[in-house]
Amino acid sequence: MTGPARNHSDVCLGGFLQAVILVGGEGTRLRPLTYVTPKPMVPLFGVPFLERTLLRLKEAGVDEVILAAGYLPGAIRDHFGDGSALGLKLTYVVEETPLGTAGALRNVAEHITGPFFVLNGDVLTSLDLRQMIEFHRAKGGLGVLHLIRVDDPSPFGCVAHDADGRITHFVEKPPPGTEPTNEINAGTYLLEASVLDAIEPGKNVSIERETFPKLLASGAPLYAYTTDDYWLDVGRPEQYVQAHRDVLAGKLEIGVTKTSGVIAPSFVGEGTMIAPSAVVGPYAVLGARVRIEDNAIVRNSIVWDDVVVGTGALVEGAILASRVHVGERASIATGCVIGHDVEVEPGVSVPPDTRLNGTQAAPT
């Protein structure tokens, strides 16, 4: 059992506020990008995905963020350090073996001093975390789960609740047609520290499939906080491209300046050079120090730093990781994910949905 300092009634939400971000997954669906770059460090408009999440937490008044890491934690720590550059205290807890979404929380229990946010590291959302805090304060339960409404809830975890918002049951990935609701678990929670007592230590435990249902069965009050915010789980290449498209199309405001001189909407990082005869955009996102040579075309694609797209090459609907070199007149078709440092030979046509792997880093 945890100590009395973690008792719900002792803790006031106006005090020191913490958050745990789950960043330990291997990100297999984003390979080969994630062989070298762990998913939280994958760039969104040239900035690591995690950075935006950290800034949102800071804006909401969070003082300390605990990063529950496991896969390639060095890349995360090297970039963010102790968090002082962002004005946050960052604490890293690295799992030797993956502990799952609840096991990872139990593993950081010694750092938790009161109510805390839990964020799935992959979620891009406009959710107002301060309002969620207010909601939790008003309800006074053991925890609040952010839900969103979707057209097809069958691939997600559905969460049913009564008129007062009190959660009544969870149904993971219901077969189409059997969904109890179109409200799904959106991967942001605000929990009282005593929730950690319900998680067995040292084991791989899922919060969605095990801990929340167990808490409900014991009569614990968990509340649903349903909003109509922008929400996207950026776990697959299609969603990663979609996230950029949505920001460029104005569906989510993240403070990105769209660049002119290319076909709008697009985004061009610092030090990037585009030949006057090249066509960039619409929906092109170019990182820093990219070179787009004469007559090359780059459309609807996400291009990381230091990439070269050679003369007359075509990149359409693809993701190119750092330092990819696309040779003259080569073409890269829709759905392709090209890993770090890959050289695409001149004249080669890479067929749709190909994943090409360059360097592979061993997890550190």
Which amino acids are annotated catalytic? 173
Q: Which of 25, 43, 269, 310 binds ligand GTP (CB under 6 A)?
A: 25
Q: Which is nearer to ligand GTP, 190 or 290 (CB)?
A: 190
By the rule CB under 6 A, 41 interacts with ligand GTP: no
Closest CA to 332 of 350, 357, 307, 356: 350
Q: Which of 6, 39, 56, 325 binds ligand GTP (CB under 6 A)?
A: 39
Closest CA to 48 of 84, 23, 82, 17: 23
Q: Which is nearer to ligand GTP, 233 or 343 (CB)?
A: 233
SS3 label, residue 179: coil
Q: Which two tokens mark 183?
A: 């409200």
By the rule CB under 6 A, 43 interacts with ligand GTP: no
By the rule CB under 6 A, 313 interacts with ligand GTP: no
Point out which residues pair with 362 in neighbouring strands: none
Q: Which two tokens mark 177?
A: 């047609």
Is residue 183 a contact partner of residue 167, using CB atoms and an 8 Å limit?
no
Q: Which stretch binds ligand GTP (CB under 6 A): 26-34, 139-147, 168-176, 268-276?
A: 26-34
- Point out the residue whose Cβ comes nearest to ligand GTP: 25
By the rule CB under 6 A, 53 interacts with ligand GTP: no
Q: How far apart are CA 26 and CA 71, in angstroms?
A: 6
Element (H or E) spanning 50, and its range?
helix 49-59
Point out which residues pair with 22 in neighbouring strands: 68, 120
Size of the site for ligand GTP (CB under 6 A): 21
Cα torsion 167, 168, 172, 173 to 10°: value is -100
Neighbour count for residue 166 (Cβ, 10 Å): 14
Neighbour count for residue 250 (Cβ, 10 Å): 9
Q: Which is nearer to ligand GTP, 120 or 331 (CB)?
A: 120
Q: Where are the alpha helices (DSSP H) in 140-273?
A: 212-217, 237-248
Q: Which is nearer to ligand GTP, 42 or 313 (CB)?
A: 42
Q: Which stretch binds ligand GTP (CB under 6 A): 27-35, 243-251, 309-317, 319-327?
A: 27-35
Nearest distance in Å: CB 69, ligand GTP: 6
By the rule CB under 6 A, 29 interacts with ligand GTP: yes
Closest CA to 18 of 70, 100, 89: 89
Within residues 75-134, the interface with ligand GTP by CB under 6 A covers: 95, 98-101, 104, 120-122
By the rule CB under 6 A, 281 interacts with ligand GTP: no
Is residue 142 a contact partner of residue 207, using CB atoms and an 8 Å limit?
no
Q: Which of 235, 281, 310, 358 binds ligand GTP (CB under 6 A)?
A: 235
Q: Which is nearer to ligand GTP, 99 or 191 (CB)?
A: 99
By the rule CB under 6 A, 161 interacts with ligand GTP: no
By the rule CB under 6 A, 70 interacts with ligand GTP: yes
Positions in the binding site for ligand GTP (CB under 6 A): 22-29, 39, 68, 70, 95, 98-101, 104, 120-122, 235
